[in-house]
Amino acid sequence: MTESAKSPSLHAPTADSQPRELQLRTARAAIAKTLGADQLAKLHVENLALDLAAIFGSIALFLLLAWQLATGSASSVLWWLCLALQGNLIVVMGIINHDVFVHRKRLPTPWRWIVSSMLAWPAQLRASVYESQHMAHHRGLGTDNDTEMHKHGLDSAMRRVFYATPALLVFRALFYRGVYAKPPARAVHGGDQRVRIERNTRFVLIGLSLLTLAFDWRLLVLGYLLPLLVVSPMINTLRIVLEHFDLDARNPFWVGTFYRTGFITRPMFWWGAGDCHMVHHFYANIPFYRMPAALRLFRPILQREGVYEHRSLAPLLADWFKASRGHWSLPAHAQEQANRRAQTAAP
């Protein structure tokens, strides 16, 4: 263990005395001091082969699962497994887009914009609009400027259950099209050219989807629409819980739900939820394949800084669906610990 790792807490000032963005910079500086430049550089090394495998492997798997759902029998266990996998994959393709293109800007343009649109389209997201909203989320995390502020409206058990149904798609369509959050006139990267290329890509994908109706309607309806409407909203709700259900505005290190992911939940959210998402908010360009190494280094730091680590999904899901606490809040026992820590740290 290095001397910096043994150092006392480098807790930043509270939200009352320091803007959130500056808080996060202070926390990031503390992490960098602990880990060192060489260690951080290793965590950011990219592997083009793994990135391409994730991109095109997910697209190929999407088509394979759609075919299996269209041609298989609902009386088969394999068919139901494929249904669950396809619904999860729709969410995962968006997470791959978020990692590879939104943050790390892999592939040259315009190919980046085309492939990004292909990955975002199954979840019915527009890649450039999503990117604009997501970058604003990173800049304003946990504040009134955060584009995820709307999730505070999920303040009852009924609304949270409703959000885990196809109603999610309707809300998200309205949100990202400007009814609830007005998108910028131009894409963050690429401007009007990108918007035009994405629109044409989207039209091609819609056309190809409609053509499948002439070949076999089951490819579109059973292979895509059914998992999109039935499975993906539930997976997305679990993602929300594992990303930012927890948040302590007084602690710049407590930027999300510090849930210890495992051999199921890591690939299920493509190394992007729970503890992985905590790392992501400090260093958004760490690739998914470096996340296990990053977690081994970050976990002791987060524990040192008083961030409560969840070991079980059950209490988290119970809190969420019973609406026993709001979005961006802490469970009762963790709140007590945070209060004691704040009192101790107070001058």
Tens-place pLDDT, residues 106-137: 999 999 999 999 999 999 999 998 999 899 89
DSSP letters along 313-331, please? HHHHHHHHHHT-S-SSB--
101 CA to centre of own chain: 13
pLDDT (tens digit per residue) in 145-162 = 888 887 888 889 999 998
From start to end of 1-65, where are the E strands? none
Task: Please enumerate in sequence order all residues whose Cβ is within 8 A of that of 11, keeping only pairs 6 or more positions apart, or say none.
Answer: 251, 252, 253, 305, 306, 345
Q: 101 and 107 in contact (C-beta within 8 Å)?
A: yes
pLDDT at residue number 178: 54
Neighbours of 243 (CB within 10 A): 23
Q: Which residue has the tokens 């926390």?
A: 27
pLDDT at residue number 11: 43
pLDDT at residue number 246: 96
pLDDT at 189 over 90: no
Q: What whole-number distance in Å separates Cα of residue 179 and Cα of residue 163?
A: 17
pLDDT band for 216, please (50, 70, 90 cuts): very high
153-97-182 Cα angle (round to 5): 40
Over residues 236-262, the mean pLDDT reads 95
Domain residue extents for the chain: 1-43+254-347, 47-245
Amino acid at 148: E
Task: Pick the closest to residue 306 from 268, 326, 333, 328 (CA basis).
Answer: 333
Task: Pick the closest to residue 238 from 91, 342, 135 (CA basis).
Answer: 91
Q: 285 and 34 in contact (C-beta within 8 Å)?
A: no
Distances, alpha carbon 59 to alpha carbons 27, 207, 308, in Å: 37, 17, 37
pLDDT at 182 over 70: no
Over residues 35-64, the mean pLDDT reads 98
pLDDT at residue number 176: 54
pLDDT at residue number 17: 42
pLDDT at residue number 179: 47
pLDDT, the chain, mean = 89
pLDDT at residue number 240: 95
pLDDT at residue number 61: 98
Who has greater pLDDT, 188 or 181? Answer: 188
Q: What whole-number distance in Å separates Cα of residue 149 and Cα of residue 32?
A: 29
Neighbours of 131 (CB within 10 A): 23
Give the CA-trace dihedral at 316, 318, 324, 330, to 10 degrees. Answer: -10
The pTM score is 0.89
pLDDT at residue number 1: 38
Distances, alpha carbon 141 to alpha carbons 136, 148, 179, 252, 253, in Å: 8, 8, 21, 10, 12
The CA R_g of the chain, rounded to the nearest whole Å, is: 21
pLDDT at residue number 12: 42
Going by the DSSP 8-state scheme, the letter that residue 156 receives in this structure is S
pLDDT at residue number 72: 96
Over residues 77-92, the mean pLDDT reads 98
Over residues 79-95, the mean pLDDT reads 98
